[in-house]
Amino acid sequence: MATTTDYDAPRGHVTDVDSDSIEELKTRRTTANAYVDIDEDSLDNFELPGVELADEELTVAVVPMRADEFRCSRCFLVHHRSQRVVASDGSDICRECA
């Protein structure tokens, strides 16, 4: 479990940090890694504070692909035909994926 940090507490001197050996730092790093076992059933009941999404319907308007657009066969995004590059296997890909 994560530990709390008091940010108002006075900080140590830089010499305190430099005095730590590399072995001490390695052991602190390995002991600081904590794993949290989350039950997947509990994720259904997880709610963010101040957010209410109950009975909210999300709708998106789907715009059909235009004649001057193409779908990249690697990233599956729709791009303008000026971004089209033909791959070595003959498929259409965008310049970002090329």
Mean pLDDT of 5-24: 69
In DSSP terms, which residues pair with 79 in a beta bridge?
70
- pLDDT category, 87, cuts 50, 70, 90? very high
pLDDT 10s digits, 3-14:
787 778 777 665
pTM: 0.41
- Rounded Cα distance between 71 and 84, Å, is 9
Q: What is the pLDDT of residue 64?
A: 93
**Residues counted in the chain:** 98
Residue type, 66: R
Q: Answer with the residue of higher pLDDT: 63 or 28.
A: 63
Q: Answer with the residue of higher pLDDT: 59 or 10.
A: 59
Q: What is the pLDDT of residue 96?
A: 94
Residue 28 DSSP label:
H
pLDDT at 16 > cutoff 60: no
DSSP assignment of 29-78 equals HHHH-------HHHHTT---TT---TTPPP--PPPPPPTTEEE-TTT--E
